[in-house]
Amino acid sequence: MNFGGTLRINKFACFILGFILFLIIYWRSGGATVTDKSDLVNLKHLLRAGIFAAERGGKKVVSQKNGELNVQSKGKTQEGANDPVTDADFASHCAMYYSLKNTFPKLSIVSEEHTGVAGCSEQEVIDLESTPEGHAVIDYMFDELVYIKDVTVWIDPLDATQEYTEGLYQYVTTMMCVAIKGVPVIGVIHYPFTPRTYWGWYTKRTSDNIPTVTHKEENKNQPTVVVSRSHPGKVTETAKDAFGEKTTVIPAAGAGYKVMTVVNGTYDIYLHTSVIKKWDLCAGDAIIKSVDGKMTTTKGDAIDYSPNEVKVTDGVLVTRYDHDYYLNKLPKVLAP
């Protein structure tokens, strides 16, 4: 028997084994930059939490409607319309912001409101394993982990405050949106009166209550365009100039509401030609993308939902179909 040979083979085997062990340890430690599970967040959890938060905010909006609204003005919009805020905005902000913040302490959240009411931060932590009623389809979706530092959540605790104070409740929504590195990925829009919630998870699916909409080629020559009711004059003119005399312009309120009318095929286009804030847009942007529609500025640029800038100054065009066709018809430079 040749002991030397056996020894040589064992040496070689030991070397290989050691090398493999080294590779495994090296590879594992590469992954160990994530030392803390709380550096990651599960998007499926954020979707559930978004629905719960929007619905909690919505309950505040409804319960406050007959109380003292304490309407104050945040000044005027660019078109000179009043920009009101009420105690309902603040109550919903507290419910939405702190429901999320208490559940995900490391999450960066941008809200339209800041001022709170007494006990603002005392909101119940959301149970991430339970699914909001009517949305069981989420249980069948896969978990997806992302770095929490890449996530910005945008919330609008009460969209269409002006109409809320006028009792035009059909326009009122609460919204939550998840942007990853500035890209809107999950959007939640909740209607607190006649309560219902719509959501979209880009590249995955939407809530079951969003209808299928078929493309109609003939709409291109006679599109319906939804615009803001608080300053419809100029944008109506722009729409007719751009899309032709057969264009029908419908005034409505609430960016959330208006995007949803395009998502569900009621109207072909949502056009906005003045300054607008990103908490008004983010959720709708994620939802319209989830149904293969598009939201861009009137220059055709995608909107970046990183937390540093809250304003969109180049207007907004939202369509479910034929986005580039309509975009090319818009004047290249829209006067503000």
Task: Identify the three-state secondary structure at position 295.
Answer: strand
Binding mask 266-295 for ligand NAG (x = CB under 6 A): x-----------------------------
Q: Please pick, from the candidates 261, 274, 297, 319, the single residue that binds ligand NAG as defined by CB under 6 A.
A: 261
Residue nearest to ligand NAG (CB): 264
C-alpha distances in Å from residue 64, one per residue of 60, 85, 114: 6, 13, 18
Binding mask 164-203 for ligand NAG (x = CB under 6 A): ----------------------------------------
Residue 289: CB atoms within 10 Å: 20
| Shortest CB 262 distance to ligand NAG, Å | 9
Nearer to ligand NAG (CB atom), residue 242 or residue 252: 252
The reply to whether 42 sits near ligand NAG by the rule CB under 6 A is no
Identify which range of 96-104, 126-134, 259-267, 274-282 contacts ligand NAG by CB under 6 A.
259-267
Q: Please pick, from the candidates 257, 305, 321, 326, the single residue that binds ligand NAG as defined by CB under 6 A.
A: 257
Task: Identify the three-state secondary structure at position 42.
Answer: strand
Question: What is the b/e burial string over 212-242, where b = at least 16 CB atoms within 10 angstroms of the residue's CB?
Answer: ebeeeeeebeebbbbbbbbbbeebbebbeeb
Nearer to ligand NAG (CB atom), residue 120 or residue 213: 213
How many residues sit close enough to ligand NAG to count as binding (CB under 6 A)?
6
In the chain, the amino acid numbered 193 is F
Place of tokens 């064992």: 10
The reply to whether 108 sits near ligand NAG by the rule CB under 6 A is no
35 phi, psi to nearest 5 deg: -90, -20
Q: What is the DSSP string of 152-207?
A: EEEEEEEE-HHHHHTT-GGG-EEEEEEEETTEEEEEEEEETTTTEEEEEETTTEE-
| Shortest CB 44 distance to ligand NAG, Å | 25
The reply to whether 206 sits near ligand NAG by the rule CB under 6 A is no
Q: Which of 293, 307, 306, 308 is nearest to 316 (CA)?
A: 293
Angle at 167 between CA 164 and CA 173, to 5 degrees: 40
| Shortest CB 116 distance to ligand NAG, Å | 29
The reply to whether 227 sits near ligand NAG by the rule CB under 6 A is no
Place of tokens 């979706």: 141
The reply to whether 224 sits near ligand NAG by the rule CB under 6 A is no
Q: Please pick, from the candidates 264, 275, 277, 302, the single residue that binds ligand NAG as defined by CB under 6 A.
A: 264
Q: Which residues bind ligand NAG (CB under 6 A)?
A: 211, 257, 260-261, 264, 266
